[in-house]
Amino acid sequence: MADEQITPGAAGALPSLADLDNDLSPEQIATQAAAVKAEADLQAKRDEEARVTAEAEAKKNEGKTPEVIAAEKEAADKEAATQAAEEEARKKEEAADADAIATAEAFYEEVNKRHGFTDLKVEYGNVDPGSIDGLYMREKAIIERSQLELDAYLKKSDPRAYAYIVHRNNGGNDEEFFAKPTISLPEFETFKANTELQKQVLTRDLKNQGMDPEYIPFVIEKAEKDGKLLEKAEKSYKAINDGQDKELKAAEAAAQARELAEQRVVKGMVDTIADVITNNKTEQFQIPDTKKAAFNEYLKQHLMFDGENFYITKPVKSDSLSKLIEHEYFAFVNGNLSELVKRRADTARTTQFRLGAKKTEVAPKGKEGASGNQEFVPLSEI
């Protein structure tokens, strides 16, 4: 009996021994046979899909003239070509945007090198770094970085000034800060080489410990005669420095805790605003879905927090002053427009009367078309 020949379209058939290498192991032969069968199954699936598509196309065109079929095919081809062109344009636009972002990032990388920035990170998100918004985000990051660097510089060069800033950030006032005496310590190496500085530091430390000022000169004189002035002054220096560091760290921790608490409060308010806008929790009218995201961002940009209260700030410009006053009056009356609507409606009726307008006849009750003599003013006109 002759061996059966395997073809790619013979679904479910097994390869003959003649098609396989007799030198292969049984496992390798089985693997090859499985591969051939998988290819045959795939081809059979393609053939079946082509058959189903052809039948569906034939059923779709059943009863249609060749002209209609040709016209529909032409329209379908045009639609496919349009979609392909739009997809190609979208890909080109994305590629161009990616190139622009890469170019802007490379540009800023060079600028960073001029500044000596090694760790400046700007989270641009979906914003083009080369756009106005991108430049604003970068400048904002640089300002924040500069503030941190200034704090670090002051902390090292002028601890007293830095302590004052921290004190003010914690809500303290000038009277509280300056009522508490502190010692501005010199650089340690300068201190070690200067006997007068050693005496000054030791004197201030003894005063802080509560020693009677009359006895302090004798204590310092004795320490100097005994050759222990530097030893005692160093202990005082360390005690003063450690005490000030401890106070400063406590103040920094309090300031950080205060800042984190404010951030939580601000985030809570921002989330509440977003909830009111997104879930239509406004009282008298609903914000259109297409405007919600932009309006939410607008409020976020104009939201201010003074540590106790929130404010929505708006720039006052002469060309928009009347509209701003209307908005503020709306808030002032808690959204009650009844008087304003009544006054506007009364004004409209008075104007009609003065112009000699014909009074609208009211249809008798029960007749079709009776609507009364009411006038309504759109909210957009108020």
pLDDT in tens, 121-168: 887 777 788 888 888 888 888 888 888 888 888 777 777 778 888 888
Domain end among 278, 303, 323: 278
**pLDDT, position 355:** 52
304 phi, psi to nearest 5 deg:
-125, 150
Of 74-83, 109-118, 353-362, the range with the highest mean pLDDT is 74-83
Same domain (yes/no): 270, 163 = yes
* pLDDT value, residue 271: 92
**188 part of a folded domain:** yes
Confidence (pLDDT) at 348? 56
Which ranges in 158-228 belong to alpha helices (H)?
159-169, 174-179, 188-192, 195-208, 216-225
Distance set, CA 72 to CA 62, 65, 69, 78 (Å):
13, 11, 5, 10
Cα gap 58→80, rounded to integer Å? 20
| 344 falls within a domain | yes
Q: Do 323 and 255 have their domain in common? A: no
Residues 265 and 163 in one domain: yes
Query: Does residue 60 sit within a domain?
Result: no
In this structure, are residues 175 and 164 in contact, taking their beta carbons and an 8 Å threshold? no
How many structural domains is the chain composed of? 2
24 φ/ψ angles, rounded to the nearest 5 degrees? -75, 155
Domain assignment present for residue 223? The answer is yes
Beta bridge partners of residue 311, listed in sequence order = 304
Average pLDDT of the residues in 320-343 = 74
Residues 263 and 368 in one domain: no
User: Is 186 inside any structural domain?
Assistant: yes
Last residue within a domain, chosen from 232, 251, 278: 278
Quote the pLDDT of residue 337: 67
Report the predicted TM-score, pTM, of the whole model to 2 decimal places.
0.41
Q: Are residues 192 and 259 in the same domain?
A: yes
249 within domain boundaries: yes
| pLDDT tens readout for residues 278-300 | 998 887 778 888 888 888 888 88
**The pLDDT of residue 159:** 76
Cβ within 8 Å of residue 255, ≥6 positions away: 166, 169, 170
User: Based on the domain organization, do 229 and 336 belong to the same domain?
Assistant: no
pLDDT per residue as tens digits for the range 43-60? 999 999 988 888 888 887
Q: What is the arithmetic mean of pLDDT over 61-73? A: 81
Q: Is residue 263 part of a domain?
A: yes
Residue entry with tokens 């693997």:
31
pLDDT in tens, 13-41: 455 545 555 567 788 888 888 888 899 99
- Tell me the average pLDDT across 95-102: 76
Q: Which whole number is the average pLDDT over 219-227?
A: 90
238-250: pLDDT as tens digits: 988 888 788 888 8
Question: Are residues 162 and 264 located together in one domain of the fold?
Answer: yes
Which residue has better confidence, 60 or 196?
196
Asked if 201 and 250 sit in the same domain, the reply is yes
Average pLDDT rounded to a whole number, residues 351-358:
51
What is the domain range of residue 210? 158-278
Lowest mean pLDDT, pick from 80-94, 190-204, 263-277, 354-368:
354-368
